[in-house]
Structure 1
Amino acid sequence: MSHVRANKEQLVARVRRIAGQVAAVERAVVADAPCAETLHLVAAVKGAIAGLMDEIVEEHLRAHVAEPSLSPEERLKGADELAVVIRRYGK
């Protein structure tokens, strides 16, 4: 993922925030927190993961499919990689 080097620090910070959110879910489960509170925490994690996924998918699309300097074969490879990820993510 060489194309993410430009904003690697931002991505790492985002992943660390997600890790903190997951830790909050764990704490809620361990503490027998109310279901609604735990569900809100889980929903926040899901939203954060979806946002991270969107950002990385967009970067992949721009760098490996839409980049004008790519050959047709490189574009096809990038599109195929993206299709596999989208199928897996949609399950």
Structure 2
Amino acid sequence: MAGPAEHKEDVIRRLRRIEGQVRGVQRMVAEDVYCVDVLTQVSAINAALQSCAVTLLDEHLACCVTEAIARGRDEARVKVGEASKAIARLIRA
């Protein structure tokens, strides 16, 4: 992640929290917790991952794409194309 350090630390913090949530869901499954309760936690994990992805995408647009636009047309075209593909993947997920 090429952006400012505070954004990087925020993303790492979020990912660690998500990792803990996933471990919690593993325990819930192992302990035969009611399926709907497990699914609720899975939904929360998905929402957290989507939020993290949006943060990463925003950072990519603010830093990488903006810098590429300033440098020139060909590089800008490549970075915008990468961002478009990333957005398409996020929408499908």
TM-score, scaled relative to structure 1:
0.85
Partners of 1:42 and 1:72 in 2: how far apart? Answer: 42
Q: Which residue of 1 aligns with 2:64?
A: 64
Instruction: Using the TM superposition, name which of 71-80 and 48-57 deviates more.
Output: 71-80
Residue 74 of structure 2 corresponds to which residue in structure 1? 73
TM-score using structure 2 length: 0.84
Q: Is the 8 A contact 1:3 1:59 kept in 2?
A: yes
CA gap 1:39/1:18 in 2 versus in 1, 3 angstroms: same
Q: Identify the residue that residue 87 of structure 2 maps to in structure 1.
A: 86
Q: 2 CA distance for matches of 1:75 and 1:5?
A: 24
Where in structure 1 are there 5+ consecutive unaligned residues? none
Give the structure, 1 or 2, with the largest relative contact order (CA under 8 Å, sep 6 or more): 2
Amino acid at match of 2:8: K
Corresponding residue SS for 2:66 = coil
RMSD of Structure 2 on Structure 1 (CA): 1.8
Structure 2 residue runs of 5 or longer lacking an equivalent are none
Q: Confirm or deny: 8 A CA contact 1:65 1:76 kept in the other structure.
A: no
Which stretches of structure 1, 4 residues or longer, exceed 4 Å deviation after superposition? Answer: none
The answer to which structure has the higher helix fraction is 2
Q: Give the corresponding residue for 2:51.
A: 51
Q: Output the CA distance in 2 between the equivalents of 1:46 and 1:21.
A: 10
Q: Secondary structure at the match of 1:86?
A: helix
Over 3 Å counting, the alpha-carbon distance change for 1:63 and 1:86 in structure 2 is same
**Alpha-carbon distance between aligned partners in 2 of 1:18 and 1:32, rounded to the nearest angstrom:** 21
Q: 1:4 and 1:31, CA in 2 relative to 1: closer, same or farther beyond 3 A?
A: farther
CA distance in 2, matches of 1:76, 1:88: 18
